[in-house]
Structures are given as structure tokens and as C-alpha cells.
Chain A
């Protein structure tokens, strides 16, 4: 009689894994990341690498402290994805302590204090982003001018060595660095509208137009990767669809009320991190809603809160806070939107 090891059903061999999910996310992040690096220089990639190394080190320490096995969790890729998403939100020449602070907040507080992978209530990358945004608002606002037509010196023209020096010394790369820095389109729009000018005057500004073009390209590349993510069914399409639809609808409504005083829907969507957030952050399964109807609500909530914070809040881009607020609401949304069990009434 031959003996066999037993295991619970099902027994099909080919299976999915958390690691595969995370690797797919990273692959789909690549196009947007590369385009962003094209406009803003190697600093983008350096920030990602730096954050990832810090994240893995912190993850290892936390796992050890919590008495968990290192190999499966370090290898699952979730810490790297967190670091990557966080780093994409950093200005490319931000000093190293921003990444460190952000990662401590993300991995230690946002993830492991809540019980590690799968148990965190808030998206770790957004916890990290929100913390550095609150702690270092000035550093976070210093985006260099995007390379491209009309830019005299973009950070895209800095060498890797200059970038590394800037990041690790915390000093500007060259004496004229201040001239390099340029507000993001959202910042510009904000200052501009606050000073009483109209959208048309804003659009006529060369620096705004240039920045807007760069960010639009970046958003398009992230959208391409994001659609791939949905097609691979790693992300549910409902969430990004809800974010985008809500943004467009609210943007159009605002424009109908007063087109001169409101940023148009297209700029709301394409400048700033809304597309990235819609496809890669709001779709984070752990911290989002999981029911089909819940995902619509979740996405709509993210978009509405983001626009509200952009309009009335103290920060130019409210995505981090919008996501965190919706994270807190996700369990409630799930409870209120259970799918109908086959053969039962709602």
C-alpha cells in the first residue's frame, strides 16, 4: 500500500500568489515611472531605490520583532510596492530623510503596528506620504522644472552624481538650484486663482503649459499601466472607473458654475497624482472596499474628497488625505454593500 501526503482541496497545481500580484503591480508601474524619470531625471529612480531599501530593512526588523518568518514576507514584494508608490510622490531631489521618515511611518506605523500584511487599515504608502507632507511641507513643494520644450535647465539635465549629492547632502546641486524649482501645475493654479486671475490667464503662462504637458504624459503612462493591471485582474476596474468618472462629473459641474474660477476637469485629472492614485493606490485591496458596489463608492469618495481638498483645503493635492479618509470608511462600505447571494433577496 503506497502512502501519500494529504492536503485540503482544491488540488490544481497552477496557482496565484501574493508575490505574483505584487510583481505584476511593479511591472505595470514601470511605464509611468520611466516617463516621470524622463521628465524629472534619475532622481525619480534614486528615490524609489532608496525608499525600497529602507522599506525592506524596516520590514525585516519589524518581522523579527514580531517573531515572524522573514523569507515569505520579505519576498512577497509588498514592502517594495509601498516604497515605490511613496517615492513616486516625492520630489525627485528630496533629501534622504524624507524617504526615511516616510518609510518609518509607512512600514512601522502604517503596516506592522496594525498587524502586518493584510491587516493594515490605512494604505502604508499614503500614511508615509501624509506624514512627510505634514512634517516637511517646504521640501515636499520643491519640484524641479520638468525637462522639455522651453525649459532652460530641467532636473532632467542633472547628472546622476549631482542628483545623488543633492539627495544625500540635502543641499541643492548647484548654486542656481533655486531657479530650477518650479511649482507643480496644481500649486500654480492654486496661487494663481487665489490672486484673482482666471483660468484663461493661467493657461496662457508658459511655465504652466509646460508643466501641464509633462504631467499629462506621466498620467497617460500610468493610466496605460493601470489598464494593464485591470486587464490582468490584479486591480478591479470599478475603482479607477469610479475615480475618473467622479472627477470628470464634478469638474464639469464646477465649470458650469464658474468656468473662470475652477480648474477644468481635464487638468484636475491629468495634473497631479490622481491617475496614479486611481489605478494603483485606491485599488489597494487591503485598504479599499472589496464588494463590487463598495468599490464604486470607494472610488467616488476618493475623487470627491480629493477635489474638495484641492479646492478648499490647505494642501495643493489632497490625494493622500482623501485615500486615508476613505480607507477608514472602507469597512463600513463593505458592510453596507454585500453582494446578493444567489437565490436570496437583498
Chain B
């Protein structure tokens, strides 16, 4: 992508942030295992070059967001849930933006899903909506994608699969592209829709192709009229001008598509990105891959942007904890992720930048930025005009589920959708009172839980009781804590409770494993002891053998004493190496 991302309409302008003086690239920007560094300190790297390889099935590589020199690998606060400092690759940009791309595949629709999946894994694409689950791994879980573990595990030095397996019948009916902003304040999806509707559509078509989805629903917040119009106009334009795949489909594609028709043309309003700058991502695509696409407005009321809420609204499937959209033939991908997938495939760009909203009463001029990953929050805030006097709390993510950061040296990661700088809360606002059982929390809970009861049992450390009340069904939306008149940090309790339960389950598993290991070791020790005894007996029988010569009298005596004690002195120190 080139440097012109400005010019989009919208609440906050979309601007491109040049690389700051230093970038800090966390090796863990995704769910799963941290990447393993594959560069050396002092090494010059190109933009897009791999800095850390994926470590295992559930992991993602990390690439250089710009060309420059690797200065160090440092431990740094990255705003991780654990609060720990985690290793980051410190990069000094050289200002040259020297690219090293993967091979662009503009004809991606001719490629097999497996190839495309390995490309997504190789490009380090993860969910940009917040959870940051490696996208290839997520898609590989779809029922239509058996045995794609290799694709999900592909790292940046793996060769592309030479003989991809035959395509399997698709069983994902519906792919939902989630363009409903997950929380108030966040505007990065909106900004993307306005600036690059073509990339969103191409990404949606690409993922629909990968999954073999019968329909691809792009769910847009109904309040985002402009963005939706831009999207619809782009789709209509593409369908009108697209290359017919078969003669038979021509008629249907050129006809009016009521789904996408929006009254009034928006072409004159310059809502689409300047066509001169960049060829449309949809240029030359066959109509067949655009056919399944449909744009659906949904109410943007929080937490509608949540995956489960969206699946429920659009398909009617209510999912309990532990059940996944894929089990009902639905996949859900964030809109930014879809665009990133398209760039990774069609332009060969690894995921090295993302759109982040910098906003709140604590910044002077709120803005949407296309920022290189690894940019410290301080630089992002500076790009938004700096802190205002009211700045008092720094939040990574949205107001409901975001994490308060202790300092602004935290680097932007793949999941960083928003930097929110809030003003000070009124004094005494944090006074926690006892629960008055007003039931407000239960009224607002989208999962229909009873937060007050959950809280009661968590406080009493009755974990199983809390689990029985559906703790796992809590989607951590934070609404209950927001409305609680007693200001009980309910969300924090639930996160704590979930962590505690997971830990207990893990320790139960570990205890069992340890038990097994102990038993195995005991068996092995017994066996070793038996072997030893047998060897000893064998040696005793062998000892008189003339070839071995007679034992010295002292040794023979010692042996005799030891035998009398029932133990060979030679065994004693050798007991442990087998452990």
C-alpha cells in the first residue's frame, strides 16, 4: 500500500503514521505460543521480513513493519493480560521502507484453499477485532477443512505445499464479516470501510472462497450509513464491471441486486478511495466470487459486535459456552482481518500494520491511524495531537473490555484496535459498596446470566458453584459492571474466576500427569533394579570364569559384605540417572 490513506470521510480522519524512532515488536501478539526470534541483533532487515517464526500449531510469525536494524531483544510491558513484561524485538527504522514481499497472487481465486491458508499463516494474519486468534488456525478449524494442521502451522520458511490435497466439500454455510464496531469509541472498522471498501469486499470474497461458503454476509452497523453506502456502491460497481465467469451467470450479475442497492448514487461524493492512486482490489475478479456477498445492516448496540451476538442475530443460532459458530456452519471474521487477508494474498504483504483509533477526552484531536505494528502508544497519542490536560487513564481497547495501561511505552500489537485516553473519574467514584441485589446486572447481561449470584459465589471462592451458574458463558462484555450501582468490579471478578477455574483444571490435569509420570518412573526404577540384580547375578556366575581372572581378595570381601547387606555397592550412586 502506498502512503495515501487520507481523504476518507468520517468522524475522525484516517492518517498514515510513518515509522517512529523505535519499534518494539512483541513476539506474542496473538493467542497461542509466542513466535521464536529468527534474526540476530544488529541484522539489517527489510520491510515484511520475518523477525520471529510461528512456534507450533497455534502461533503466528512476526514481520518487520519497516526496513531497519534489529537493535535488541528486550523484555517490555506490552499490555498483556498477565501484566508481565514479554520479549519484544527492538527495531530501528532506516526510513527507506525497503520491501520484501511474498509473491503476490492477484489470481487468488484460482488457488486452492490450502494454499491460501498457508499463505495466511505465513503472513502472520491474526484476528484484528481484538482476540487476535491466528486466522489460518481459525479457518482450519472449519468443518470443511480437515487435516489442515500443516497449513495452520506453516511458518515463514516452510515451502508452499507442493501437492495440495483435493478440495473437500464445504460445510460452512455462512461466513459473517464482522464490521460492527465491537465497542463504543472504536472507529477503526468504520475508517477501513470508508477508505478501502474494495479491499474489504475482496477480502470477504477471498475468505468465502477459502471456506467455500454459500453466502458471505458483511454485517455493518446500521448507524454507519456512509460506510455502508460506500461498500454497496463499490460492490455494485464491481458486479457491473466484473468479468463473467460463465456465460450463464452473466445475466444474474448484471441485473439489479436489491441487497446492495442504496438510494442515491454515492459515486460523486468521493466516498471510495481515489481510484487513481491504487487499482481497485476488485478489478478483474470473476463475478462468481463476488456472487455470495451481501451487505446486511445490523443494530450496533453493544455488545452486538461480539461474535456470538452477531451469529445469533444473523443466523438465529444461540451458542452456549463451549460451542462454536463452526458447529452450526457459520464462521465469523472481523472486517479488518478480511482486508488484511486480501493484502497478504493478493499483494503478498505480511501483517505489519493496522488501523488503530486514538480517541477519548484525553487526546487533543482524535484520529484513526494506519500505524506500523510495534509503534509505542506514546507515538500514537502524539499523532493525535498529544494528551490534553484531562488525560487521566490510558486504555488499550474499548471502554468496556479494554485494559488500563500503566504507561504509554506499550507497543501497538495486532489486537490493538483502540487507544482510549479518558478523563479522571469524579472523586469517590471507585467506592465499592456491597451488592444490593438490585438485579440491574442481570437485566443487562446479554448471556442472561445472574452476575450478582456469580459474584457472590466467586467471593466465597465456591468455584464449582460459579461454574454451574454459567461463568463460562460470560462473554466479558462488562455491561454488568458498568450498570452496577454498588460499583462492584464484576467483570474483573469474572475474569479472575475464569482464570482460577482454568488454573484448577490445569492443575488437576497436571496432577494426574504427574501421578502417571511418577508411576512410570517407579516402574522404570523397579525394572532397572531388577535388571541390575540380574546383571549382578550374571556377573557372579561369570566371575569364576578363568578368562576374567580372580578378584582381588579385598574386592571379593567387600562384595561379600555388600551381598550380605543385600545390595551391591556399585548400584548405590547409579540410582538417580534414570530419573
Contacts and interface: CB of A to CB of B under 8 A. Distances in A.
Contact of A15 (B318, B394, B429, B450): B429
Interface string B426-449: 101111011111111011001111
B407 A1 contact: yes
Give the one of A72, A118, A340, A343 with max B CB within 10 A: A343
Contact of B450 (A13, A76, A290): A290
Nearest to A344: B320
B470 interface: yes
Given A11-B393, A17-B487, A118 B431 contact: no
Given A6-B406, A341-B447, A11 B438 contact: no
Contacts of A340: 448
A1 B382 CA distance: 12
A10 B436 contact: no
Interface string B444-484: 00111110110000000000000001100100001101111
A66 interface: no
Given A4-B405, A290-B442, A9 B437 contact: no
Nearest to A8: B492
Given A10-B491, A15-B429, A338 B436 contact: no
Contact of B473 (A6, A73, A343): A343
A222 B115 CA distance: 71
Interface string B387-420: 1000011110101111111111100000000001
B527 interface: no
B489 interface: yes
A290 B452 CA distance: 9
Contacts, number: 164
A10 B439 contact: no
Contacts of B485: 16-18, 20-21
A236 B425 CA distance: 29
A137 interface: no
A9 B478 contact: yes
Interface residues of B, number: 67
Nearest to B478: A10
B433 to A, nearest CB: 5
A64 interface: no
A18 B403 contact: no
A12 interface: yes
A234 B440 CA distance: 9
A16 B484 contact: yes
A7 B395 CA distance: 9
B312 interface: yes
B450 A291 contact: yes
Given A1-B378, A13-B423, A18-B485, A286 B437 contact: yes
Contacts of A195: none
Contacts of A233: 440, 443
Given A11-B393, A342-B312, 11 more contacts: A2-B408, A8-B491, A13-B422, A13-B426, A13-B429, A16-B484, A72-B431, A72-B433, A290-B439, A341-B473, A343-B319
10 contacts: A8-B491, A10-B399, A11-B393, A13-B429, A119-B434, A236-B439, A290-B438, A341-B320, A342-B320, A342-B447
